[in-house]
A = this chain, B = another copy of it.
Amino acid sequence: MADYFIGVDLGGTNVVTAILDQTGRLIDKISQPTQAEQGPQSLVERTSRSAESLIEKHSVSRSQLKAMGIGSPGPLSFAEGRIIASPNLPGFEQFPLRAEYSRRLQIPAVLDNDANVACWGEFWLGAGEDVTDMVLFTLGTGIGGGIVCQGELVHGSEDNAAELGHMIIVPDGRRCNCGQHGCLEAYASANQTANRAREALEQGRSSSLQAVWKNNGQVSSKDVFYHAQGGDALALEIVDGTAKALAQASINMRHITEPQKVVLTGGMIKAGDFLLHKVQRFFDEMIWTLKKESLEICLATLGGDAGCIGAAGLAFHVFQKQELPPVGT
């Protein structure tokens, strides 16, 4: 008889509730607007109803339903199952998300941050399913990360490990929103890739992007990649800057936790192999020559489902380790 797990992937815009079995089969999912302005209690109620409708629809008995996992923007306290602060979910500060879900659905729950659950999803069933050690970079507005060492997520001493976007790669470099200078995120996020292009255009650099900028009043990372693929020199230079920063960060992670795979995910991987091959080329050029490194850099394969799959998968993993917290806590 199969075991079943619920996964909730909470985002600023949408929240996805899914049901999986222990083989990782995604049986069904429901996506709905987060409507954060209605507060955390409303969110828990609406998504718990979604979970209950999935349980009923697929005739899953209570005894088969073992646990649920929740992925949420952070920072969080995993030990307490609580949101600490949440710039993208105003009003959710200090909310005991795990206990509220667990009490509502009467199953044990685990809480982890959004990048970690996406990392776990890719590790369990996606690009990293064949390795024991992997690193995930999420390339979006900012850069998040996840680290798996020997089959376990690295959480750190205060649950804020794997903030990979804030690795300083250039001393006294570009200012980051976090207050540091020279962060990976200040070069290689989608926003900063676009910003570096815009800054060059403002300096009057010749480029096919000038027309885009004049017409739209802005330039997106998508524009930059499109024009780079079209052969525009400035756009290529900007994309190379992004790829080189990601290669440096990948080399650093190879030397620090020594993953077999670095997985790239997030909006910017729509650029696909064009970006991936550049990152791999810089990696090969810049990595040490002491020994041959076999690190594989690759794209995520689960797309937007990584979060809900990873959340359910993490619940399954903690269930297997028999480390689930009691129901209602």
Contacts and interface: CB of A to CB of B under 8 A. Distances in A.
A158 interface: yes
A318 interface: no
Interface residues of A, number: 48
A251 interface: yes
A252 B170 contact: no
A77 interface: no
Interface in A115-164: 131-133, 147, 149-150, 154-164
Contacts of A160: 255, 258
A259 interface: yes
A154 B161 contact: no
A169 interface: yes
Contacts of A163: 255-256
A146 to B, nearest CB: 11
B288 A178 contact: yes
B164 A256 contact: yes
Interface in A212-262: 244-245, 248, 251-253, 255-260
A289 to B, nearest CB: 3
A78 to B, nearest CB: 12
Interface string A286-329: 11111100100000000000000000000000000000000000
A265 to B, nearest CB: 18
A180 interface: yes
Contact of A157 (B133, B256, B289): B133
Contacts of A162: 255-256
B171 A170 contact: yes
A36 interface: no
A201 interface: no
A309 to B, nearest CB: 23
A248 B252 CA distance: 13
A75 B164 contact: no
8 contacts: A133-B156, A133-B157, A157-B259, A163-B256, A168-B251, A169-B169, A178-B289, A179-B290
